[in-house]
């Protein structure tokens, strides 16, 4: 089930930023002189792990929920999610006073399930496959008539996520490159669209786990390749790339890099120890790109998006 399939304009990105301002945090940029020296770069970390619900997803969900008409919103909202989008949609729905129904795979982390439940949403479990997610969501919508908010393949969600980049461009001067993790592609599409609309000279680099590299393969071949059997600790990046997201990426993303699991873990450790901030595996993937490909970023001003910080502290990857 897909959402609104229209590429947002720069004007609609700015409208989304204004719409969600009362409902989300303007997150800080963290820096480390030690990391800058180590990588001979100016690294600026956009801390969406400090966002409401602990992830950038609060932006897209809030933009969508608060742009729904009363008629569209009357039966609540529904989606499928491994965690962060589900929590974000549940939070936004609670603020608007409407129900939220979240389809979650049985292997979703306990901490993410508890976050969704804490916002008052109804959780419906399904088998851990994309087909099962979509089938179960279809049943939920048939029963509830809730409005579907796709996790990433929706212009309203993309417009909300774009506010990450609009903030970065306000916070950082003379930027050379923005580095973004990619799973379903909502964050990457929004960031790339905003960056290239405002300053096309800034390079947009996506980073993806090698064990879930459908975006890398799709980008290289110029056609959408479905995610089949993702194998990565970055649970937020196991989704298949969305069609609308891919269309935006083809026009606005400069390159996609892949990284190994060991680099993701090392990136997490460095961010925890040097930045003193909790980063989940998916959120560490952009920095893992710098760890594996340092020559690409040497002597450049680099903004790296930390997409989230939700993880089970009793089950760390090290």
pLDDT at 229: 83
Q: In 21-129, which ranges are continuous DSSP H helix?
A: 33-39, 57-67, 70-73, 84-96, 110-118
pLDDT at 89: 97
User: 10: which 2 tokens?
Assistant: 């720069």
Shared-domain flag, residues 194 and 50: yes
Percent of the chain with pLDDT over 90: 85
Q: What SS3 state is found at 29? A: strand
pLDDT at 311: 86
How many angstroms separate the CA atoms of 15 and 63, rounded? Answer: 9
Q: What is the mean pLDDT of residues 24-49?
A: 98
CA-angle at 216, arms to 211 and 176, nearest 5°: 115
Q: What is the mean pLDDT of residues 65-77?
A: 97
* Chosen domain end from 148, 166, 195: 148
Total domains present in the chain: 2
Shared-domain flag, residues 77 and 14: no
* Structural domain containing residue 65: 58-148
Shared-domain flag, residues 19 and 103: no
Shared-domain flag, residues 69 and 42: no
Place of tokens 């040097």: 274
Exposure b/e, 57-87, CB count within 10 A at least 16 = b = bbbbbbbbbbbbeeeebeebbbbbbbbbbbb
Shared-domain flag, residues 281 and 203: yes
Residue 160 neighbours by CB distance under 10 Å:
35
CATH of the domain at 202: 3.40.50.1100
Integer CA distances (angstroms), 149 to 158, 219, 226, 251, in order = 11, 25, 21, 24
Shared-domain flag, residues 127 and 258: no
Q: What is the mean pLDDT of residues 196-217?
A: 96
For the chain, the average pLDDT equals 95
Shared-domain flag, residues 180 and 287: yes
Band of residue 312 on the pLDDT scale cut at 50, 70, 90: confident
Judged against a pLDDT cut of 60, whether residue 17 lies above it is answered with yes
pLDDT at 272: 96
- Name which of 35-39, 94-98, 104-108, 250-254 the model is least confident about: 104-108
Residue 287 in any domain: the answer is yes
Percent of the chain with pLDDT over 70: 99
Band of residue 44 on the pLDDT scale cut at 50, 70, 90: very high
pLDDT at 2: 60
How many angstroms separate the CA atoms of 193 and 225, rounded? Answer: 22
Place of tokens 């069609």: 243
* Chosen domain end from 148, 171, 190: 148
Task: List CB contacts of 48: < 8 A, sequence separation 6 or more.
Answer: 27, 55, 56, 164, 283, 305, 306, 307, 308
pLDDT at 82: 80
- The edge-to-edge listing of strands for the beta sheet with 147-148 is 122-126, 100-105, 77-80, 147-148
Q: What is the mean pLDDT of residues 18-31?
A: 98
Strand runs labelled E in the chain: 29-30, 42-47, 77-80, 100-105, 122-126, 147-148, 177-181, 203-209, 255-259, 301-306
Residue 136 region by backbone torsions, left for phi larger than 0, else alpha for psi between -120 and 50, else beta:
alpha
Tell me the per-residue pLDDT of 241-250, one tens digit each, with 9 for 90 and over: 999 999 999 9
Q: What is the mean pLDDT of residues 242-269?
A: 97
Band of residue 122 on the pLDDT scale cut at 50, 70, 90: very high
Judged against a pLDDT cut of 70, whether residue 317 lies above it is answered with yes
* Chosen domain end from 148, 168, 202: 148
Shared-domain flag, residues 159 and 265: yes
How many angstroms separate the CA atoms of 285 and 193, rounded? Answer: 20
Shared-domain flag, residues 138 and 219: no
Judged against a pLDDT cut of 70, whether residue 12 lies above it is answered with yes
Judged against a pLDDT cut of 60, whether residue 1 lies above it is answered with no
Q: In 204-298, which ranges are continuous DSSP H helix?
A: 214-221, 243-252, 261-275, 281-292
Shared-domain flag, residues 255 and 277: yes
């Amino acid at each position: 089930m897909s959402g609104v399939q229209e590429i947002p304009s720069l004007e609609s990105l700015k409208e989304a930023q204004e719409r969600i301002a009362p409902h989300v945090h303007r997150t800080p940029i963290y820096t480390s002189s030690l990391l800058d020296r180590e990588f001979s770069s100016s690294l600026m970390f956009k801390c969406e792990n400090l966002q409401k619900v602990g992830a950038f997803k609060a932006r897209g969900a809030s933009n969508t929920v608060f742009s729904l008409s009363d008629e569209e919103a009357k039966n609540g909202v529904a989606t499928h999610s491994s965690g962060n989008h589900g929590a974000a949609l549940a939070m936004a729905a609670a603020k608007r006073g409407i129900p939220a129904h979240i389809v979650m795979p049985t292997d979703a982390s306990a901490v993410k399930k508890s976050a969704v439940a804490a916002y008052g949403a109804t959780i419906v479990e399904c088998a851990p496959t994309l087909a099962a997610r979509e089938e179960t969501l279809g049943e939920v919508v048939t029963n509830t008539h809730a409005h579907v908010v796709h996790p990433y393949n929706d212009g309203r969600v993309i417009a909300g996520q774009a506010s990450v980049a609009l903030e970065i461009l306000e916070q950082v001067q003379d930027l050379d490159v923005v580095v973004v993790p990619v799973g379903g592609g909502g964050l990457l599409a929004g960031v790339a669209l905003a960056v290239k609309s405002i300053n096309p000279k800034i390079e947009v680099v996506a980073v993806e786990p090698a064990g879930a590299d459908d975006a890398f393969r799709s980008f290289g071949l110029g056609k959408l390749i479905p995610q089949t059997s993702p194998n990565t600790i970055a649970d937020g990046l196991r989704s298949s790339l969305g069609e609308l997201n891919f269309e935006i990426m083809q026009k606005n993303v400069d390159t996609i890099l892949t990284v190994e699991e060991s680099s993701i873990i090392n990136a997490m450790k460095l961010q925890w120890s040097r930045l003193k901030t909790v980063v989940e595996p998916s959120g560490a993937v952009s920095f893992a790109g710098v760890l594996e490909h340092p020559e690409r970023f040497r002597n450049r001003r680099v903004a790296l998006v930390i997409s989230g910080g939700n993880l089970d502290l009793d089950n760390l990857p090290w």
